[in-house]
Amino acid sequence: MEGNKFTIFSVIESSLPQMSKGQKAIAQFILINYERAAHLTAARIGVEADVSESTVVRFATELGFLGFPAFQKKLREDLKVKLTSVERLNTSAYLTDSTNIPKSVLLSDLDRLKTTVETMDYDAFNMAVEMIMSANRIFILGVRSSAPLASFLGFYFNLMFDNVRLVHTTSVSEMFEQILSATKGDVVIGISFPRYSKRTIKAMQYSKDSGASVIAITDKAENPVSKSAMCSLLAPSDMASFVDSLVAPLSLINALIVDIGMRNRVHIAETFEKLERIWDEYGVYDKGEIEQEAAFEL
């Protein structure tokens, strides 16, 4: 049950006819108050549903979970996809310490980084690196909250490769127009985190059907974004109020850039040497001149 594609909500709803009176009371409480239920103890849910704690635990196991903690973990995962932005804002009261929000958020991000390190599939990571380095062309997809991640990856890849196309659009048709030529020998990198973008999912499926190699950068191997991918690079992006934390995904993308850069450092060093000369010639970056001019005026 815990690893399948069904949500807590669909499992509960399909099981309702066979439930006892007490189980139905628990089910109704969870379906109506799922934001709260995701962060309450079994004992507290029992109080709210007017049943015993043991009945709540049995409720979880009879739905196919190893226990109440596994049930609640799945509920929290499903909330990331089901909740609207307003509901996510409300449920953040259970996710953060309201007396010290900066500390709570930063510590949560630190936990996500540790999880990324501990669960990293290094074979998939190396496979992605090799696919990218041997690609004829590289297409990068990422919209809505994933757009900054795609732009960050695209910025550095454009300095490292001559064959990068960052697909950025608010239209489904325009996205397909930009990846229309993707074919065998090309790599399409799709970036999406809950709530998953249908545009990105459909574009990745189209790319796969066209013969391109597809890489997913997302949070779970079994989600719709990974379905079309030859390999998936995973990093958690759990809720932090009405926004998702993208700290771990950005760090993962940073690792991808650095790894490829180190494998191709001779070519990249030559490129950056040329860029530095251009940047100096056209004054792209401040090298203290502004402070010197201000001091001179004083």
- Per-residue pLDDT, 277: 85
- Per-residue pLDDT, 294: 52
Angle between helices 247-263 and 265-281 (to 10 degrees): 100
Q: For the domain 8-82, what is the CATH code?
A: 1.10.10.10
- Three-class SS of residue 133? helix
Choices 2.160.10.10, 3.40.50.300, 3.40.50.10490, 3.40.1800.10: CATH for 114-263: 3.40.50.10490
- Per-residue pLDDT, 215: 98
Among 223, 212, 211, 215, which Cα is nearest to 190's?
A: 215
Contact call for residues 133 and 158 (beta carbons, < 8 A): no
- Per-residue pLDDT, 3: 44
Report, in angstroms and rounded to the nearest whole number, the Rg of the chain calculated over CA atoms: 24
User: In the 8-state DSSP scheme, what is residue 196?
Assistant: P
Contact call for residues 256 and 125 (beta carbons, < 8 A): yes
Going from N- to C-terminal start, the domains of the chain cover: 8-82, 114-263, 266-298
The ranges of the chain with pLDDT < 70 are 1-6, 80-99, 170-172, 238-243, 287-298
The encoded tokens of residue 278 equal 């251009």
- Per-residue pLDDT, 229: 95
- Per-residue pLDDT, 293: 57
Contacts of 96 (CB under 8 A, 6+ apart): 104, 105, 108, 240, 241
Query: What's the rounded Cα separation, in Å, for the pair 232 and 214?
Result: 9
